[in-house]
Amino acid sequence: MGVFVCLPLVLPLTALPVARLAEQHLHPRSATVLLTVVGTLLALCSTLCLALLMVVGTAQLPGNPLPDSWSDPEVRNAVPYEEKAGIVAIGALAAVLGACGWTVYRHVRLRVRAGRALSATPSVTAGDVAVLPDPEPYAYALPGNPGRVVVSSAMTECLDARERRALIAHERAHLAARHHRYLLAVQLAARANPFLLPLRTAVAFSAERWADEEAARAVGDRRVVAVAVGKAALFSHRAPDASVGFAAFAASGPASAPDPASASAGGPVPRRVAALLAPVPPTRLWPPSSAHAALAALVAAAGTAGSALSSLNATVTLVQILHAATPL
């Protein structure tokens, strides 16, 4: 097993180049699914690595609950610097589990509080859309059974009829595709390994782009959706935290008026506007549209495969060692 058991802790770095390139060269639906799967697999391998280090590294610590035979020299030699690695792994694994638990708690608490607030607040309801009398402009998708689209009265006043259709179509797309699950998955992955933080940002952006494309298809006019995105971002002052499971329309921050020149800026909302003013992105995954994207995809695939194989090899080796050291 040796030092290779530690590889899953650093191999998530191989996925970083593909995060930004996926935003630029893939359909947002494909980018969201691909980056979420890659991030989740890398996070699981990283967490398993910590668990293996903890088991083997603490085998010879006094007072541990493991069988005495697990402190066999063959077990101690399975991982370099076993005692130090085990102690560090205990702290790191506890931090990961605590951070993931807190993230899930926040996600559930926010959904419950938002649902209760929606039930307690007088609103105008039409199907799955609830309009709240609020002077602050905002709109968001509230997951549930059934999901609801929540819009403030101030936001409806900021947009004309077609732009309101685009806003509601955008939020319905979040609900239909269950984007809150993708966002929660990459949030947990980033908690498990900080190297995956760029993937969380990329998935959040791709999910918004995915909803933008669905809204453009529903409305039939990409420019109307681009205008709605820019205006909603311009007038919005606050929105629910999308990072823990709520998808908010134009929640990425303020933006200037949606014209192509300003859309070339680097912020999330201007990039969304620029994408909507461009042709519909291709849905194909392969072959990629550029050599850089192909290279990044291959590196990410190699890193993910290497992380999975390293974790599997370490697990099998550890089981064999402990089985040999623990007579039946």
Instruction: Divide the 328 residues of the chain into consecutive groups of 10 and give the mean pLDDT of each group.
Output: 72 83 84 92 89 72 60 55 70 92 92 82 76 87 86 89 92 92 94 92 93 93 92 70 46 36 58 89 67 71 80 72 58
Which residue has 């593909």 as its token pair? 18
Contact, 43 vs 193, CB < 8 A? yes
Rounded Cα distance between 231 and 139, Å, is: 12
pTM greater than 0.85: no
- The reported pLDDT for the residue numbered 24 is 78
Q: Is 183 exposed, middle or buried (0-12, 13-18, 19+ CB in 10 A)?
A: buried
Contact, 83 vs 89, CB < 8 A? no
Contact, 18 vs 299, CB < 8 A? yes
Distance between the two ends of the chain, CA-based, in angstroms?
23
- The reported pLDDT for the residue numbered 98 is 94
Residue 148, SS3? strand
Rounded Cα distance between 215 and 164, Å, is: 11
Query: 48 vs 183, 184, 191, 310, CA distance in Å?
Result: 22, 20, 14, 10
Contact, 191 vs 212, CB < 8 A? no
Work out the angle at residue 284's Cα, subtended by the Cα atoms of residues 280 and 290, and round it to the nearest 5 degrees. Answer: 85
For residue 2, the 8-state DSSP code is G
What lies within 8 Å, CB to CB, of 205 at 6+ separation is 23, 252, 268, 271, 272
- The reported pLDDT for the residue numbered 303 is 79
Give the distance from CA 49 to its chain's centroid. Answer: 21
Q: Is 225 exposed, middle or buried (0-12, 13-18, 19+ CB in 10 A)?
A: buried
Containing 129, the helix (H) or strand (E) segment is: strand 129-132
- The reported pLDDT for the residue numbered 261 is 36
For residue 5, the 8-state DSSP code is G
Q: Which tens digits make up the pLDDT trace of 53-67?
A: 777 767 656 566 566
Contact, 192 vs 43, CB < 8 A? yes
3-state helix, strand, coil in the chain (%, to 5): 70, 5, 25
